Amino acid sequence: MELIEMKHITKIYPGTVALDGVDFSLKQGEILSLLGENGAGKTTLMKVLYGMTQPNSGEICYKGEPLRLRSPIDAINKGICMVHQHFMLVPAFSVTDNIVVGAEPHKGIFLDKAKAKREVQELIQQFHFNIDPDILVERLSVGEQQRVEILKALYRKADVIILDEPTAVLTPTEVEELFVILRQLRDSGKSIIIITHKLKETMELADRIVVLRDGRLVADDVRPAEVTTEQLSSLMVGRQVDLQIRRPAKNIGEVCLKVENLTVMDHGQAKVKNVSLEVHAGEILGVAGIEGNGQTQLLEALTGLCQPKSMALTLNGEPLSGACDVFIHHGVGHVPEDRLAMGLVKEMSIKDNLILGYHRQDRFCGKGGMMKQAAIDGYAEKLKEEFLIKTPSVNAPVSSLSGGNQQKVIIARVFSQSPKALIVAHPTRGVDIGAIEYIHQQLIDIRDSGAAILLVSADLDEVRTLSDRIVVLYEGQIVSESMPGELSEVELGLLMTGSKPAGKGETHA
Amino acid sequence: MKEKTMNIKRHNAKQAILTSVLAMVVSLVLGAILLAICGYSPIESYIAIFGSSLGTVKGFALSLSQATPLLFTGMAFAIAYRVRMINTGAEGQLYVGAMAAALVGAYVTGLPSVVHVPLCLLAAALAGGLVAGLVAFLKNRFGANEIILTLMLNEILILFTSYLANGPLKAEGSGVGQTNRIQESAQLFRLIPQTQLTIALLVGIALAVILQLVLNRTAFGYEIQITGYNLLAARTAGINAKRTYLLTFAISGAVAGLGGAAMSLGVNYRFVEGFSASYGFGGISVAALAAYSPVGVILSSFLIGVLKAGAITVNRTTDIPVEFVSVIQVLVIIFVAAPTLIRSLIALPKKLAGRGKQAEVKKEGANS
Ligand SMILES: Nc1ncnc2c1ncn2[C@@H]1O[C@H](COP(=O)(O)OP(=O)(O)OP(=O)(O)O)[C@@H](O)[C@H]1O
Ligand SMILES: [Mg+2]
């Protein structure tokens, strides 16, 4: 039986038709994977279903009855819950408090704490969530926080759980754990909608696949068993995409970026311990590792964002130190970890974001400090065309772009400055396969034009296909260095968790 | 395509203006109801308030001269807010600016007006700018909170200037705390004779336009906006946030100081103890009313000026309590401070229309 039917949903934003007469349905007890390129309208469709935004036309039926959603509260009351990509938890509250907040059990006018705890405990046991209900949320890992979000939905008796790119922030093991939970929920009769850009995950998890392209429905009854990832990607993008092709560096040059004795302290703890690295011109050095093993601090030290306890850094033999402006000025490009927090100013226009950090260059800024509007306009238009940024206009705010296109703004900004060295963090997080292919190609091109690239990514596949050399970062130290292909995925995975695969990979202490 | 975004931009500006205008209308209606409840004729009252302040030359000049100091303090708050710093110190900066201008105006002699007046203004701007700059320095250096600092500094500066005006710098033979009268060459030109409306208004308007251009057209203004919206992104982009804070806050203080100069050189012709009718804090609501746009402050300060002038006339000519005018003023500010309230009012007719449309769509659907 169809649990939810959305009919002819159309949503128009100023300048964009985000959804164009989409019909969507969800059955009880299925895991549905919603696929589509960046900007295809996946999030928008789910926001409509969750009452976060009102469609311009169309209707929603729930168990055969028409449903009017004025706000998420209406949706939650009907048992439709959404887990957002950015968690909405209070770090200083316990797991239980976070779960019950807004729907607390009462005893008279008082909070019934005992009952709350009992109910949460039962839920945790019922679904084998393996979380301590009394622990403070700030002490949980990202994966555990996500489970708390799911518990929140279950506590509100959700029948439908929507997950918007839940795996983007998870480690491979956490992804596996999440899938176990989701299957269990399905088997207990819940319906799940999951948005992801990783086709591998879709194939593994989904019962049914729905594909959106440009705000239109292109397929709504695809069974994973009946398709290949190639077919799926051509449904999404309209052409073949293969992300596994390796393109090794042809002309690796001299050492460009050289880091010695890097130690970074954070709150009295050494997060990076005496690390030394060399990246050659025309080479991509991949840093694999589970997040939280010093990647953030490594990136901050190499871009001037933090002053390390010790570091000797040279760029083409010249010593380099100082704040971010010095690094940028000397040609060290930076694709930051968290694009919205560090890389973009979402309230400002795409145009303004395309020159951020380079806005004092003579071509954008005159002698008296006046910005050269015409030059900036032209430049932004050029980058928009060149990097295929999907927007009606470069004057639109960055917040109106889909996640993948936001990332393209950063890539366009940094890559078009012909940097000598590039510090790149998670370049394709939350980006669709078409755009991933494109960004990978850009990375390879800029490498082949002689840039030295340090690539930090939580996506092991990405590190393995792009890198010309791979190091593994574990607890702030480099525990292995290898050539691509030398170590298998499993071996690298073991190194990332601190164990040593027998007899392989030289180990630097 | 260009046209489309121009439309979006214009749409946003239109929305902001509409919000402010609607806030105004709603407050006037609520004020009328209140007046009626208390037994006064709303129409007569409004004629008393707006008839003279908008309808006569003298009254209009009064509105504008009441608006002048608020124009400066409003701009001061607005520009600081653009880097998300809260300048609650405009009151103190106003006082030091007024004192500096009065002293240069009184003790520097033998200059032609075209040199003397700018010199006084410069002194006022420097005084206000230095005081605010000090606050920003302490914030940068020690992480001090600028709100607490400026509020404390207000007390210190008001008392200190008051001490000067009552002690070492007191005008000879004066019974109240005030400094010597400024030279004729330092007096601001009056736009309309026998009113307090001076060239300070034009200076303020010009300054608003300049500040707006700085914000929108210069690299410094770009950095102000980036830093204000997203500090981490600003740092990542190599923008020196501390420098931006320091300069912007100093500019904010300088603008407030100029407001003080407008009072010393154009209205009182000297520094007078306690001259400010809380202009510094009035600037906060003026800035909010203008959505923190310097050019918008021209309009919002005028609006408050009209109400203030209205209050003065009401007080002189009718038995309606002046407090009513303050109530309207406060209502306007509340409604502007709660933009969602007003926006839902704007959306109401659309929503109703939308429902009609949806019903139509349904009908069509049923037919096919
Ligand atoms: N608030 C908004 N204002 C204007 N346009 C918007 C807004 N939100 C989304 N859009 C536009 O609507 C379209 C669909 O966006 P949506 O976020 O649904 O894409 P998505 O499929 O979730 O993409 P992604 O995979 O990148 O998250 C995009 O073109 C986007 O630019
Ligand atoms: Mg999305």
The structural domains of chain B, with segments of one domain joined by +, span: 72-301
pLDDT-derived band of residue B354, with 50, 70 and 90 as boundaries?
Answer: low
Alpha-carbon span A169 to B318, nearest angstrom? 68
Residue A450 near residue A252, CB atoms below 8 Å: no
Tokens, residue A199: 């086709």
Tokens, residue A83: 């887990």
CB contact under 8 A, B226 and A356: yes
pLDDT of the residue at A216:
94
Q: Which of B240, B306, B232, B291 is nearest to B14 (CA)?
A: B291
pLDDT of the residue at A431:
83
Q: How far is A73 from chain B (nearest CA, A)?
A: 18
Q: How far is A465 from chain B (nearest CA, A)?
A: 28
pLDDT of the residue at A2:
86
Distance A333 CA to ligand 1 centre (A): 27
CA A447 to centroid of chain Cα atoms: 23
| Ligand positioned closest to the Cα atom of A84 | 2
pLDDT of the residue at A34:
95
Alpha-carbon span B100 to A18, nearest angstrom? 59
pLDDT of the residue at B122:
98
CB-closest option in A8, A15, A373 to B4: A15
Q: Which residue has the higher pLDDT, B350 or B176?
A: B176
b/e sequence B24-43, b meaning 16+ C-beta within 10 Å: bebbbebbbeebeeeebebe
Phi and psi at residue A16, to the nearest 5°: -140, 135
Residues of chain B with Cβ-Cβ distance to A303 below 8 Å are 236
Q: Which of A82, A198, A393, A402 to mutate to test the pocket of ligand 1 (most atoms within 8 A of CB)?
A: A402
Residue range B224-262, pLDDT digits in tens: 999 999 999 999 999 999 999 999 999 999 999 999 999
Report whether pLDDT(B206) > 50: yes
Q: How far is A70 from chain B (nearest CA, A)?
A: 12
Q: Is A349 exposed, middle or buried (0-12, 13-18, 19+ CB in 10 A)?
A: buried
Alpha-carbon span A60 to A8, nearest angstrom? 9
Residues of chain A with Cβ-Cβ distance to B217 below 8 Å are 370-371, 373
Alpha-carbon span A389 to A405, nearest angstrom? 6
| Ligand positioned closest to the Cα atom of A22 | 1
Write down how long chain B is: 368
Residues of chain A with Cβ-Cβ distance to B237 below 8 Å are 324, 328, 356-357
Residue A265 near residue A252, CB atoms below 8 Å: no
Q: Which residue has the higher pLDDT, B119 or A403?
A: B119
CB contact under 8 A, B232 and A341: yes
Q: Enumerate domains of chain A plus CATH numbers.
A: 2-237 (3.40.50.300), 255-496 (3.40.50.300)
Distances A484 to A46, A287, A333, A454, B171 between C-alpha atoms, Å: 40, 12, 24, 15, 86
Alpha-carbon span A310 to A321, nearest angstrom? 11
CB-closest option in B6, B238, B357 to A328: B238
Residues of chain B with Cβ-Cβ distance to A359 below 8 Å are 219, 222-223
Tokens, residue B276: 């400010």
Phi and psi at residue A87, to the nearest 5°: -65, 150
Provide the phi-psi class of A369: left if phi over 0, else alpha when psi is between -120 and 50, else beta: left
Whether the CB of A369 is below 8 Å from some CB of chain B: the reply is yes
Q: Which residues surround ligand 2, an ion (CB under 5 A)?
A: A 43
CB–CB contacts below 8 A, A to B: 97
Low-confidence stretches of chain A (pLDDT < 70) are 1, 501-509
Residue range B124-159, pLDDT digits in tens: 999 999 999 999 999 999 999 999 999 999 999 999
pLDDT of the residue at A242:
74
Helical axes B241-263 vs B113-142, angle rounded to 10°: 140
CB-closest option in A336, A341, A360 to B219: A360
pLDDT of the residue at B136:
97
Residue B111 burial (CB count, 10 A):
16
> Which residues are CB-contacts of A425 (< 8 A; sequence separation ≥ 6)?
A295, A299, A335, A336, A337, A456, A457
Distance A47 CA to ligand 2 centre (A): 10
Report CA torsion sign: A268, A270, A274, A276. negative
Averaged pLDDT of chain B:
88
Alpha-carbon span B186 to B205, nearest angstrom? 20
Residue A131 near residue A117, CB atoms below 8 Å: no
* ipTM score: 0.85
pLDDT of the residue at A108:
76
pLDDT of the residue at B360:
43
Question: Which residue, chain included where needed, has tokens 């929305």?
Answer: B15
Residues of chain B with Cβ-Cβ distance to A360 below 8 Å are 219
Q: Is A316 exposed, middle or buried (0-12, 13-18, 19+ CB in 10 A)?
A: middle
| pTM listed for this prediction | 0.84
Q: Which of A44, A393, A428 to mutate to test the pocket of ligand 1 (most atoms within 8 A of CB)?
A: A44
At position B258, the amino acid (one-letter code) is L
Long-range pairs of A229-236 with CB within 8 A, sequence gap ≥ 24? A229/A199, A229/A200, A229/A203, A232/A35, A232/A199, A232/A202, A232/A203, A233/A199, A233/A433, A233/A434, A235/A35, A235/A211, A236/A35, A236/A36, A236/A37, A236/A40, A236/A211, A236/A432, A236/A433, A236/A434
Alpha-carbon span A505 to A482, nearest angstrom? 6
Residues of chain B with Cβ-Cβ distance to A346 below 8 Å are 229-230
CB contact under 8 A, B232 and A342: yes
Instruction: Name the closest-CA residue to atom 29, ligand 1.
Output: A39
Report whether pLDDT(B356) > 50: no
Q: How far is A245 from chain B (nearest CA, A)?
A: 33
Residue range B7-63, pLDDT digits in tens: 445 556 667 777 777 888 888 888 899 889 988 888 888 888 888 889 889 999 999
CA A126 to centroid of chain Cα atoms: 30
Provide the phi-psi class of B179: left if phi over 0, else alpha when psi is between -120 and 50, else beta: beta
Chain B residue whose CA is closest to A343? B233
Give SS3 for A328: helix
Q: Which of A43, A199, A218, A428 to mutate to test the pocket of ligand 1 (most atoms within 8 A of CB)?
A: A43
Residue A494 near residue A500, CB atoms below 8 Å: yes
Residues of chain B with Cβ-Cβ distance to A327 below 8 Å are 238
Alpha-carbon span B112 to B354, nearest angstrom? 66
CB contact under 8 A, B233 and A343: yes
Phi and psi at residue A334, to the nearest 5°: -135, 120
Q: How far is B247 from chain A (nearest CA, A)?
A: 15
Residue A25 near residue A50, CB atoms below 8 Å: no
Position in ligand 1 atom list of the atom nearest CA A46: 18
DSSP element (H, E) containing A376 = helix A373-386
Q: What is the CA radius of gyration of chain B?
A: 23
Residue range B263-286, pLDDT digits in tens: 999 999 999 999 999 999 999 989
Instruction: Name the closest-CA residue to atom 19, ligand 1.
Output: A39
